[in-house]
């Protein structure tokens, strides 16, 4: 999928292994000599927008071979954070950086949360539904 520039939206209820699966993809990519960045939307937004050289940090993220945006939709829904997340997704979209997004939101809820983010991810990502029991409770 990295070679094809394709990513994934991994959606489903809590504890169904979305972060675990995304981390496994990061491990696989890194073991093959690729560069990957993984974090929550808040962590990645903070890394970019609180850095001294925002352009350089954004370039580092867009220039990686795989970006994992973990727990999309759990970030604080302020206009400021929405704009930051959009800027990151849009930059990666333009650079064709493969993205894996994990989320508790349904595809419909993602579309409602931010249509601009959703459309870019929808175009570039396969949808994978995580289902089953909450592994933390079973
Ligand atoms: N394939 C797996 N094999 C073994 N353990 C797993 C597997 N997938 C997930 N787990 C374990 O199940 C628990 C929940 O997984 P994970 O944190 O990935 O869920 P999640 O879907 O990201 O949850 P949330 O929506 O709350 O973020 C973790 O302890 C994780 O280590
Ligand atoms: Mg998770």
- Taking phi first (over 0 means left), then psi (-120 to 50 degrees means alpha), and beta for anything else, what does residue 97 get? beta
* Closest by Cα among 40, 38, 63, 60 to 51: 60
Per-residue pLDDT for 7 more than 90?
Answer: yes
Asked whether residue 112 is assigned to any structural domain, the reply reads no
What CATH number is associated with residue 73? 3.40.50.300
Asked whether residue 55 is assigned to any structural domain, the reply reads yes
Asked whether residue 114 is assigned to any structural domain, the reply reads no
Q: Are 14 and 132 in contact (CB under 8 A)?
A: no
Per-residue pLDDT for 97 more than 90?
Answer: yes
Please give the Cα distance from 78 to 80 (Å, whole number).
5
Asked whether residue 117 is assigned to any structural domain, the reply reads no
pTM of the prediction?
A: 0.95
Asked whether residue 119 is assigned to any structural domain, the reply reads no
Q: Whose Cα sits closest to atom 15 in ligand 1?
A: 17
Q: What is the pLDDT of residues 99-113, one digit of tens each?
A: 999 999 999 999 999
Asked whether residue 68 is assigned to any structural domain, the reply reads yes
Asked whether residue 95 is assigned to any structural domain, the reply reads yes
Please give the Cα distance from 57 to 12 (Å, whole number).
30
DSSP for 55-110, written as a single string:
HHHHHHHHTSSEEEEEEET-S---HHHHHHHHHHHHHHHHTT--EEEEESS-HHHH
DSSP reduced 3-state for 40: strand
User: Which band of pLDDT confidence, cut at 50, 70 and 90, is reported for residue 58?
Assistant: very high
Domain region containing 15: 7-107+125-129
Asked whether residue 118 is assigned to any structural domain, the reply reads no
Domain count of the chain? 1
Atom of ligand 1 nearest to the CA of 22: 18
Please give the Cα distance from 51 to 68 (Å, whole number).
19
Which residue out of 11, 15, 101 has the highest number of ligand 1 atoms within 8 Å of its CB and is therefore the one to mutate?
15
Q: Which two tokens stand for residue 125?
A: 């990502």
């Amino acid at each position: 999928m990295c070679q094809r520039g394709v990513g994934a939206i991994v959606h489903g209820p809590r504890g169904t292994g979305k972060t675990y699966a995304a981390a496994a993809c990061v491990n696989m990519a890194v073991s093959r000599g690729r560069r990957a960045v993984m974090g929550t939307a808040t962590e990645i937004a903070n890394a970019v927008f609180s850095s001294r050289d925002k352009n350089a940090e954004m370039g580092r993220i867009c220039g990686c071979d795989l970006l994992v945006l973990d727990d999309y939709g759990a970030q604080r829904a302020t206009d400021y954070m929405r704009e930051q997340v959009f800027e990151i997704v849009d930059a990666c979209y333009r650079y064709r950086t493969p993205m894996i997004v994990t989320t508790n939101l349904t595809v419909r809820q993602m579309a409602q949360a931010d249509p601009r983010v959703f459309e870019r991810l929808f175009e570039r990502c396969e949808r994978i539904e995580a289902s089953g029991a909450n592994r933390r409770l079973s």
